[in-house]
């Protein structure tokens, strides 16, 4: 194992793929705001480095020469087989090949989709790769197996982190847990699309950067291993739905449980209607999470004992999805209301909204007012000679 520690020597450089997502964005923000003098974290966009292009990956990583690499990037959850294979599998493996060449740690994010239903599932309870699995699950399973092979045969220093239902704030996409929150807030979930007693594990995005930091500082302990990163206590899905409904003060969804056969028939019927609309030029799609509809009716909880037995100390041991719920509701309702995605709630941010009303109702008058009063040169800069200005950085 290659000796490594973030605190040893000069400022380290890291590369993170997938920085626009909730997980990647949270990790980048942690290193930039909480550890600015410790790590120079780079998060290239897909336009700069395409994970579908081996040359892009090679050239970028060999040019930057990072001290560690993190991969949180995935194709859209409902992407076709070719795109999913190229991004989720080939991209992940080509990054691993570069990491092995540079002899730097590689942290790869995987998913509970690689595991069967059941309770207290351990890291070894991995599904075999089969043709019937979703493209997403297949790609993650294949990537995990190839990373193990590369560790045994190419000396790759890697760690796999499997996540369950991820929750947190500041996600620009509506997916996963946030799709559930959105569906309830938008009153588009009339009944309970689950059954009593179905339990799932949850993963906190806010805690992840602390684990990444610790794992990078302790490669001898964590290198070559897979860990489940989930909260200690799983949660019943029905309880989660009813808690969100209560905190939003809504009357829906009604506590009537839709059987899986009925939910599946409804999903297939909706797909048929959408195909008809597409044929006349109206393009729309179902939420991609509906491919996991069966999971709403099956228990799956992940054991966190391996990670708990390690040297990592949870920075927020009392935090759960329930304790974060008020913060997430406030953040997402404000965001979705401003984006006109929901009209259920009249969100008041607590500031003067006269400018917003003028922009909405009388933009010409607002424009004239700004022309009169808000376009003059800055007086303090006029009073200051160019010599007194700070130099350009």
pLDDT in tens, 185-240: 888 888 898 999 999 999 999 999 999 999 999 999 999 999 999 999 999 999 99
The torsion angles phi and psi of 82, rounded to 5 degrees, stand at -65, -50
User: Is residue 121 situated within a structural domain?
Assistant: yes
- Detail the DSSP E strand segments found in 220-325: 225-229, 235-236, 300-302
User: Is residue 308 situated within a structural domain?
Assistant: yes
User: Is residue 374 situated within a structural domain?
Assistant: no
Rg for the chain (alpha carbons), in Å?
A: 24
pLDDT given at position 105:
96
CATH of the domain at 133: 3.40.50.720
Task: Note the pTM of the prediction, 2 decimals.
Answer: 0.83
Could you tell me the end-to-end alpha-carbon distance of the chain, in angstroms, rounded to an integer? 40
pLDDT per residue as tens digits for the range 14-46 = 999 999 889 999 999 999 998 888 899 999 998
User: Is residue 194 situated within a structural domain?
Assistant: no
User: Is residue 36 situated within a structural domain?
Assistant: yes
Torsion 184-190-194-195 (CA) sign: positive
Buried b / exposed e over 51-87, threshold 16 CB at 10 Å, is: bbebebbeebbeebebbbbbbbbbbebbbeeeebbbb
User: Is residue 122 situated within a structural domain?
Assistant: yes
Q: What is the rounded distance in angstroms from the CA atom of residue 187 to the CA atom of residue 185?
A: 5
pLDDT given at position 382:
55
Going by their DSSP bridges, the two strands 68-71 and 12-17 should be labelled as parallel
User: Is residue 345 situated within a structural domain?
Assistant: no
CA dihedral 331, 334, 338, 341 (to 10 degrees): 90
**What is the count of structural domains for the chain?**
1
Q: Are 112 and 161 in contact (CB under 8 A)?
A: no
pLDDT given at position 349:
45
User: Is residue 389 situated within a structural domain?
Assistant: no
pLDDT given at position 127:
94
Q: 61 is in which domain, residue-wise?
A: 12-172+199-235+299-318
Determine whether 286 is exposed, middle or buried from the number of CB atoms within 10 Å of its CB (0-12, 13-18, 19+).
middle
Q: Which residues of the chain have pLDDT under 70?
A: 1-4, 171, 267-268, 270-292, 343-361, 366, 370-371, 373-393
Q: Are 159 and 107 in contact (CB under 8 A)?
A: yes
pLDDT given at position 375:
60
pLDDT given at position 260:
81
């Amino acid at each position: 194992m290659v000796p490594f520690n973030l605190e040893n020597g000069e400022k380290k450089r890291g590369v993170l793929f997938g920085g626009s997502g909730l997980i990647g964005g949270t990790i980048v923000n942690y290193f930039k705001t909480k550890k600015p003098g410790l790590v120079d974290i780079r998060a290239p966009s897909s336009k700069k480095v395409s994970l579908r292009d081996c040359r892009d990956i090679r050239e970028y990583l060999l040019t930057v020469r990072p001290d560690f690499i993190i991969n949180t990037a995935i194709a859209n959850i409902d992407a076709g087989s070719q795109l999913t294979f190229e991004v989720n599998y080939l991209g992940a493996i080509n990054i691993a090949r570069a990491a092995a060449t540079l002899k730097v740690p590689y942290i790869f994010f995987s998913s509970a989709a690689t595991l069967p239903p059941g309770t207290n599932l351990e890291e070894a309870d991995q599904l075999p790769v089969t043709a019937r699995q979703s493209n997403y699950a297949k790609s993650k399973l294949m990537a995990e197996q190839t990373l193990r092979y590369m560790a045994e045969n190419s000396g790759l220093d890697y760690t796999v982190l499997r996540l369950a239902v991820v929750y947190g704030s500041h996600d620009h996409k509506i997916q996963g847990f946030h799709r559930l929150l959105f569906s309830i807030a938008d009153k588009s979930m009339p009944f309970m699309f689950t059954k009593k007693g179905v339990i799932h594990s949850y993963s906190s995005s806010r805690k992840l950067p602390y684990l990444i930091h610790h794992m990078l500082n302790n490669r001898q302990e964590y290198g070559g291993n897979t860990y489940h990163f989930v909260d200690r206590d799983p949660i019943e899905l029905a309880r989660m739905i009813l808690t969100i409904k209560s905190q939003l003060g809504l009357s829906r969804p009604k506590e009537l449980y839709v059987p899986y056969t009925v939910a599946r028939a409804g999903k297939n019927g909706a797909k048929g209607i959408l195909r008809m609309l597409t044929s006349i030029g109206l393009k729309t799609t179902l939420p991609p999470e509906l491919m996991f509809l069966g999971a709403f009716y099956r228990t799956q909880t992940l054991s966190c004992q391996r990670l708990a037995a390690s040297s990592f100390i949870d920075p927020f041991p009392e935090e759960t999805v329930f304790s974060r719920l008020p913060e997430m509701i406030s953040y997402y309702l404000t965001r979705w209301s401003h984006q006109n995605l929901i009209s259920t709630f009249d969100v008041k941010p607590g500031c003067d909204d006269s400018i917003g009303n003028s922009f909405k109702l009388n933009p010409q008058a607002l424009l004239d007012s700004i022309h009169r009063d808000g376009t003059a040169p800055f007086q303090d800069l006029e009073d200051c000679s160019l010599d007194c200005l700070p130099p350009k950085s």
